[in-house]
Amino acid sequence: AAGVIQSPRHLIKEKRETATLKCYPIPRHDTVYWYQQGPGQDPQFLISFYEKMQSDKGSIPDRFSAQQFSDYHSELNMSSLELGDSALYFCASSSGRNDISYEQYFGPGTRLTVT
């Protein structure tokens, strides 16, 4: 079965640079969630989109922005990167079209390293 696709898988950036992470949800899934996981930490919710509209917002820095496109893929844009932004970034998707809309399936993640 098709899973959530994230790209790139690894990204190394310098401080103050920008980064763009991409997420392709499971086919027919219309909701995308972004989570940040620091080393040895639990995933922390950043932001979510349903049908291309922002549906919820968590502890996402103002330096970050995200959007969902017409094909339901999503991009997380990160600017003025800081060392503390180094983490695993996960995208998850779910479907709002049936009774199992609350099951979130995670992608393999993007490991961002800021030097």
Partner 1 sequence: QQQVKQSPQSLIVQKGGISIINCAYENTAFDYFPWYQQFPGKGPALLIAIRPDVSEKKEGRFTISFNKSAKQFSLHIMDSQPGDSATYFCAASTLSGFQKLVFGTGTRLLVSP
Residues within window 60-99 making contact with partner 1, judged by CB under 8 A: 88, 90, 92, 94, 96
Instruction: Please report how close the Cβ of residue 98 comes to partner 1 at its closest, in angstroms.
Output: 13
Cα separations in angstroms, 64 against 3, 23, 36, 76, 107: 25, 15, 12, 7, 20
* Residue whose entry in the numeric block shows the structure tokens 């030097």: 115
Q: Which of 7, 13, 22, 45 binds partner 1 (CB under 8 A)?
A: 45
Q: Give the CA angle between residues 36, 110, 24 to the nearest 5°.
A: 100
Closer residue to partner 1 (CB): 8 or 17: 8
- For position 5 contacting partner 1 by CB under 8 A, the verdict is no
Stretch that binds partner 1, among 13-21, 47-55, 60-68, 77-85 (CB under 8 A): 47-55
With CA atoms as reference, report the closest residue to 72 among 11, 13, 4, 1: 4
Peptide bond just before 39 cis, omega within 30 deg: no
- Applying CB under 8 A, the residues found at the interface with partner 1 are 4, 31, 33, 35, 41-45, 48, 50, 55-56, 58, 88, 90, 92, 94, 96, 101-109, 111
